Amino acid sequence: MLYQIDISHRAHQDIEDAACYIAYQLKNPSAAQNLVRRAFGSIDSLEELPARFSVVRDPFLASLSIRFVPVQGYLAFYQVNEVTQTVHILRFLYGQSNWASILKTDFHPN
């Protein structure tokens, strides 16, 4: 059975921001297009066996069953709802960023 994919507004914005940075700051529009294509391809692949990717190692985020799929130096973070058979894409963040802190802020806004 295929899972439904639900991409949050924030994750869409993250992908757009990453593509804009690569296209305009790094002046590489073809790499930006490639990143977007691969990001959505990797996300779409979660329709089948979304649990095949690891849960994050951070204890708090792991307690929320947040998983990630790597995409060209970025990480797409998601949760799987087995009841509704839905994969919720939460964020798309640069792998070298302090992504754990960013994700925790999303769950514990100040």
pLDDT value, residue 107: 85
Neighbours of 51 (CB within 10 A): 13
In whole angstroms, how large is the CA radius of gyration of the chain? 14
What CATH homologous superfamily does 4-107 map to?
RelE-like (3.30.2310.20)
Q: What is the pLDDT of residues 19-51, one digit of tens each?
A: 999 999 999 999 999 999 999 999 999 999 999
Residue extents of the structural domains in the chain = 4-107
Work out whether strand 86-94 and strand 74-81 pair parallel, antiparallel, or are unpaired: antiparallel
Q: Region of 38 please: left (phi>0), alpha (psi -120 to 50) or beta.
A: alpha
Residue 67: name the closest of 34, 48, 90 by CA: 90
Per-residue pLDDT reduced to its tens digit, 46-75: 999 999 999 999 999 999 999 999 999 999
Is the pLDDT score of 108 beyond 90?
A: no
